[in-house]
Structure formats: C-alpha cells, structure tokens
Amino acid sequence: MLRSLYSGISGMKNFQTKLDVIGNNIANVNTVGFKKSRVTFKDMISQTVAGGSNVTNSKQIGLGAATSSIDVVHSTGAPQATQNKTDLAIDGDGYFQINTGAGIVYTRAGNFGKDNQGNLVTTDGYYLEKIGGGKINIPTDAKDYSIGADGTVTYTDAGDEVHDAGQIGLVTFPNSAGLEKIGGNLYRESLSSGAASAVTTPGENGTGKLLAGYLEMSNVDLTDEFTEMIVAQRGFQSNSKIITTSDEILQELVNLKR
C-alpha cells in the first residue's frame, strides 16, 4: 500500500487533536484565571530506502507526523476590575494555595468569597490557605475588612478596633507548564512541574503583588485561536486530499487489468 495513505491519516489525527485544544481554549475565553494550551507536532520515523556514503546522501521517506506536546501557556491574563473586596488578581508570578480537604492544590483564579462562618473560600467551597497554614477567617460581625497588596487581611470589629486575620501567601514552581490541570481552575503539582517553593509574601522572591478588587481573566486571544483554527482546518483538508489522491492511484492500478 502507498505510504502516503498512512501519512495522511497521521496528519488528520494530529489536526483533530489541534482542533480539540483550540475548541477548549475558545470555550474558556471568559474563564477566570484560565491558561490556554497549544499543540506542537513532530515528524515520525523515516524509512531508509538507500544508505548514504562519503559521496552520496541517504534516501529516506517520512512516514507521517505525530503530536509532540500539548503545552499550557502560563502567560498572565489581563486584570479586570470588579469592586469585590474578596476578588484577587496576582500581578506577576505565583499561585494561591487551596486546601481541598484531601490536600493542597493551586490556582490563579482569585474569585474568592466567604462561607457562612466568614472563611475565604473558592466557588467550590475549598479554603484559601494562609501563610503558616489554616483558614483566613473574617468574623461575620466585622464592620469592614481589606486585603493588602502583600496579602495581609485585616478587619474592623464593632468597636472600631483593627485585627489581623492572617496573610495570604503565594508559591512558585520551577516549571509552571508542567502543572497538572484537575478542573475547577485548579492545578496539581507533578514531577514535571517540580516541587512548590516555600510559601512567600506576595511581592517577594519573584512573586507578584495582589490586586484586591480585580480578577485575572483568561489569557486566550480569540484572534490567535481563530487563525489557528483556519490553519488546522486547511491542514485537515490537505491531509484528507492526500488520502483521496492515493486512493485514486490505487484504483488506477487495480483497473490496469480488465
């Protein structure tokens, strides 16, 4: 059978994967703290028809393409003002620590709220960890509260006395692109990402400061995604044409003897 048939099939499969990734990016264009993904390809093994010598080059025929990687691009999304005191954006590098009850996970999504006891939680009810561990609690009878750029949470009681509720810390990773997505805007540490750094005060040791009343939006650029969609669509069509052309050639061979 013609090698081009299998090369075309491999190309179609790759562009299907690319379209899957593009579709997920576009679906999350308004997801808080979402990081887009990209697909890269590599050529597959080549068949050596004739070996090379000191005066001639070897003759090799490629046998198609394969998916090389699906990378998460951890560039910073644009901050959007919300005027909500518990909304936090990280102006720079770093991740919030989230306690799910089954362990610590990480996120860039700062759309936090308060539960019925005044603890800062995610939209799924997981607790935001403070430096040193534990929940950040703002009493339900507090008159007012604020979150500073360094993560310090303070509140004012009924007697106008200011209290410290703890400090939000950030962590970094040697390879952020290696973090494992687990859904709900959360990431889990992996062998590729390396271990999380020691919990750091926002604005120190390479971490960004916190912006209270802002949210980091998705880093998906629709212009880029639609352009890549066109490339993927045309690539898929081109590879399907290879299969159609190869089939026509085989048909001619079969019809040689009638």
Report yes or no: 36 and 73 within 8 Å, Cβ to Cβ.
Answer: yes
Residues listed for the chain: 258
Mean pLDDT for the chain? 89
| Closest-CA residue to 150 (of 215, 204, 199) | 204
Report the C-alpha dihedral over residues 247, 252, 256, 258, rounded to 10 degrees: 80
pLDDT average, residue stretch 48-55: 76
Give yes or no for residue 1 having a pLDDT over 60: no
Closest CA to 62 of 42, 76, 80: 42
Q: What is the pTM of this model?
A: 0.84
Asked if the model's pLDDT at residue 157 lies above 90, the reply is: no
Kindly tell me the burial class for residue 229, based on how many C-beta atoms sit within 10 Å of its own C-beta (0-12, 13-18, 19 or more).
middle
Number of neighbours of residue 4 by Cβ within 10 angstroms:
17
* Tokens encoding 42: 């590599």
Residue 25 scores a pLDDT above 60: yes
- Contact in structure between 242 and 56 (CB atoms under 8 Å): no
Amino acid found at 125: G
Distance, C-alpha 172 to centroid of its chain: 15
Where are the chain's structural domains?
3-74+220-254, 79-216
What is residue 246's predicted lDDT score, i.e. its pLDDT? 84
Token readout for 94 is 């770093």
CB 142 within 8 A of CB 155: yes
Answer yes or no: is pLDDT of 61 > 90: no
